[in-house]
Amino acid sequence: MEEGSVFRSLLAILQWWGFNVTVIIMNKWIFQKLDFKFPLSVSCVHFICSSIGAYVVIKILKLKPLILVEPEDRWRRIFPMSFVFCINIVLGNVSLRYIPVSFMQTIKSFTPATTVVLQWLVWRKYFDWRIWASLVPIVGGILLTSVTELSFNMFGFCAALFGCLATSTKTILAESLLHGYKFDSINTVYYMAPFATMILGLPALLLEGNGILSWFDAHPSPWSALIIIFSSGVLAFCLNFSIFYVIHSTTAVTFNVAGNLKVAVAVMVSWLIFRNPISYMNAVGCGITLVGCTFYGYVRHKLSQQQQQPGTPRTPRTPRNKMELLPLVNNDKLEGKV
């Protein structure tokens, strides 16, 4: 690999890590330090900022070409995906309100296991035994981390776990609902964020409106806090733009490894800021989970290579490109981290 290419890949990974970790930490800061305990409203702000950002990038700055979608497909295909996408983001923010970033990020690493199990149970998809074997350290690490978590909260744990199921469902549905459309992260946000805002706007107003008014009256500096909240929404959109950049600057294997290392970085930074207690066995469980996720990505990559060789028996379809290794929007966050 050329030196310039290596530098570009490294820069892409670092800026992706930076936006991802910053969005996660800001969301936790909003819930914990600003006492703004309204995850539906935070998610709605992120959707609004992402809708505006995607429109500016595609329609005004024209940095990305618009992928045209038939009006009928917007409701028949995009809307159901937006609904699952909305649930995924909301559950991620809800979990952040109740559990530490380190625990939440470790549980999110359970997504490969939930994806495989859902495809096997619901879609009756066959998987090579090596795929199942690669899930063992992931499941074992999650169990160890959950049992030894010193700040365990059942509601936050369930929200994060169901968030994994939502991420898996979104990824699986994308293969059928978005068949024929080659979406990148920016076009995904362009079409899904407005639907997600529409879906979430009314529930956020009804369930959290009065609480926000009370918070606004009680908070010593509400306008400064609102600037932080809306800044997190802007950074959430920037995260999606960074995902587009890193996907086009790295290989699938590099993207997989960098994604798992990103979780480790987020855990370390969150601990330095919030100082949530982490036991030795808890850290070991988190490490086992991340190693398992890396091993899972490696196994799927090797099986994908075997499929491309003539005469090789077919194994379950693995990601055809780096885009399929990624939830449509980085559950990071917008996976994240929206």
Is the pTM higher than 0.85? The answer reads no
Q: What is the pLDDT of residues 38-97, one digit of tens each?
A: 999 999 999 999 999 999 999 999 988 999 988 888 898 889 989 998 999 999 999 999
Q: How many distinct structural domains can be found in the chain?
A: 1
Quick check: is 54 in a domain? yes
Phi and psi at residue 279, in whole multiples of 5°? -80, 165
Quick check: is 188 in a domain? yes
Q: d(Cα 240, Cα 176) in Å, to the nearest integer? A: 23
Q: Which residues contact 279 (CB under 8 A, 6 or more apart)?
A: 148, 150
Quick check: is 328 in a domain? no
Quick check: is 330 in a domain? no
Closest CA to 179 of 319, 304, 77: 77
Q: Which of 8-12, 284-288, 324-328 has the lowest mean pLDDT?
A: 324-328
Phi and psi at residue 332, in whole multiples of 5°? -80, -50
The residue behind tokens 């006492």 is: 35
Cα angle, residue 166 at apex, residues 73 and 326 outer, rounded to 5°: 75
Quick check: is 332 in a domain? no
pLDDT of residue 328: 37
Quick check: is 334 in a domain? no
Over the Cα atoms of the chain, what is R_g? 20
Q: 284 and 146 in contact (C-beta within 8 Å)?
A: no
Range of the domain at 278: 1-212+219-306
Quick check: is 316 in a domain? no
Quick check: is 93 in a domain? yes
Of the two residues 99 and 323, the one the predictor is more confident about is 99
Length of the chain: 338
Q: What is the pLDDT of residues 264-282, one digit of tens each?
A: 888 889 889 998 888 899 9
**How many other C-beta atoms can be found within 10 angstroms of the C-beta atom of residue 101?**
24
Longest dimension (CA), the chain: 70
The residue behind tokens 């990624």 is: 326
Of the two residues 229 and 321, the one the predictor is more confident about is 229
**How many other C-beta atoms can be found within 10 angstroms of the C-beta atom of residue 310?**
4
Closest CA to 159 of 105, 100, 91: 91
